[in-house]
C-alpha cells in the first residue's frame, strides 16, 4: 500500500550534503529521505526542476520504499569514475577516489570553459587510466551539431567509448550521428530520455546508440526495466548525484536488468564530502555490491538542512504528491 502524504511528511528528513568538488555548478546537494516498509528511500530532484519533472522522482522514491524490489540477476555492479569539469591538474586526485574503476566519464562543455580545457582534461584522464582504460564523455546537451562534430574530431584521439548527450534535441542527435558515423564514436542519450514525454522516442528516431537510464527521473525501477525491455539498444544505469540511498535504488535497477554491457554511472557517492551512512556505497575494485543502506541517525542531525530549506521541500513534496 502506498503511503499517505502525512506518512511521508512524518518520516521525511531534508538534508544538505556537501560535495568534495564542484559539480553541475553546485557545492552542496539537497535531498529528502523517507523510511518505508522496505527501508530508506530518496526524493531528490534538483531544485531548479519543476513539479512536472519532480513528481517522477517522488514516484520512484515511493516505489523503492514501499514496494518489494524486482528480482536481481547479479549481486554487484561495475561502475565508472566520474570526472567533473575540473582543471586537468586536479584529475589524478579525483580519479583516486574511484577504486579500481576501469571506466571514466568525463564532463565536458561546461559553461564558461573552452574546448581546449576539455581536451586537456580528457588527456589527463587518458594518462591516468592508461591505454586500456575506457573513457566516455558527457556534454549535457551543450553543443550544437557543428560544435559537437568539431569536438568529436578534436577528442577522437583519446579512444572514446561513447559521448553522452552531445546535443540537446533528438533532431540534432540524429544529424550528428549521421555526420560522424564513420568515426565509430557511439552517441548515448540521457536528457533526451528522462526529460521526454515519450522516453522511447530516442530509439524510434534512431538518434542514439546507447540509452542512459536513471531510476529517479524515470519514475522508479519498474519504469527503467520497462523501457529497457522495449528497446533494442544497450542501456547504462546512472545516478543523479544522489546520496548512497539513491545510489542503492540505481544499483537495484541495474542488478535487475537481464543485459548490462557497460559499466554504470553509480559511483558518484565518491563526489560527496559527507554521506548519510557510515558505509557509503563506494567502488571497491571497480564495482559496488547491491544492498540497502542503513542511514546513520547522527548524520541525519548533522546534515539537516536549515528550517527555510526544509519548509521549501515540504511544500514541494505536497505539490508533487498531488500530481501522483
C-alpha cell at 99: 577504486
C-alpha cell at 136: 566516455
Per-residue b or e along 27-52, where b marks 16 or more CB atoms closer than 10 Å to that residue's CB: eebbbbbbebeebbbbbbbeeebeee
How far, in Å, CA of 47 to CA of 28, rounded?
Answer: 11
Choose, from 107, 123, 195, 279, the residue flagged as catalytic.
107
CA atoms within 13 A on the CB side of 307: 0
Q: Is 214 a catalytic residue?
A: yes
Closest CA to 190 of 171, 206, 166: 166
In degrees and rounded to multiples of 5, residue 303 shows phi and psi of -100, 5
Choose, from 22, 35, 59, 214, the residue flagged as catalytic.
214
C-alpha cell at 73: 540477476
* Residues annotated catalytic, as ranges: 107, 214
Amino acid at each position: 500500500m502506498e503511503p499517505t502524504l502525512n506518512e511521508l511528511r512524518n518520516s521525511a528528513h531534508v538534508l544538505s550534503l556537501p560535495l568534495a568538488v564542484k559539480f553541475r555548478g553546485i557545492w552542496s546537494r539537497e535531498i529528502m529521505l523517507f523510511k518505508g516498509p522496505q527501508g530508506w528511500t530518496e526524493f531528490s530532484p534538483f531544485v531548479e526542476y519543476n513539479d512536472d519533472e519532480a513528481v517522477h522522482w517522488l514516484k520512484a522514491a515511493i516505489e523503492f520504499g514501499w514496494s518489494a524490489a524486482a528480482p536481481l540477476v547479479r549481486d554487484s555492479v561495475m561502475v565508472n569514475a566520474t570526472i567533473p569539469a575540473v582543471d586537468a591538474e586536479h584529475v589524478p586526485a579525483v580519479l583516486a577516489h574511484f577504486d579500481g574503476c576501469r571506466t571514466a566519464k568525463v564532463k565536458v562543455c561546461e559553461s564558461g570553459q573552452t574546448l581546449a580545457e576539455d581536451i586537456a582534461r580528457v588527456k589527463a584522464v587518458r594518462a591516468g587510466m592508461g591505454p586500456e582504460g575506457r573513457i566516455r564523455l558527457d556534454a549535457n546537451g551543450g553543443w550544437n551539431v557543428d560544435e559537437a562534430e568539431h569536438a568529436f574530431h578534436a577528442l577522437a584521439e583519446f579512444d572514446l567509448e561513447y559521448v553522452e548527450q552531445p546535443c540537446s534535441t533528438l533532431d540534432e542527435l540524429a544529424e550528428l550521428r549521421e555526420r560522424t558515423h564513420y568515426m565509430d564514436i557511439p552517441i548515448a542519450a540521457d536528457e533526451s530520455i528522462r526529460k521526454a514525454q515519450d522516453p522511447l522516442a530516442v530509439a524510434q528516431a534512431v538518434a542514439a546508440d546507447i540509452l542512459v537510464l536513471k531510476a529517479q527521473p524515470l519514475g522508479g525501477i519498474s519504469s527503467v526495466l520497462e523501457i529497457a525491455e522495449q528497446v533494442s539498444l544497450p542501456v547504462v544505469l546512472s545516478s543523479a548525484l544522489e546520496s548512497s540511498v539513491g545510489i542503492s535504488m540505481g544499483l537495484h535497477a541495474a542488478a535487475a536488468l537481464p543485459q548490462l554491457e557497460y559499466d554504470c554511472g553509480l559511483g558518484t557517492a565518491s563526489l560527496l564530502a559527507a554521506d548519510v551512512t557510515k558505509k557509503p556505497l563506494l567502488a571497491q575494485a571497480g564495482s559496488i555490491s547491491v544492498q540497502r543502506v542503513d542511514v546513520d541517525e547522527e548524520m541525519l542531525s548533522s546534515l539537516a538542512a536549515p528550517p527555510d530549506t526544509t519548509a521549501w521541500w515540504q511544500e514541494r513534496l505536497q505539490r508533487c504528491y498531488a500530481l501522483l
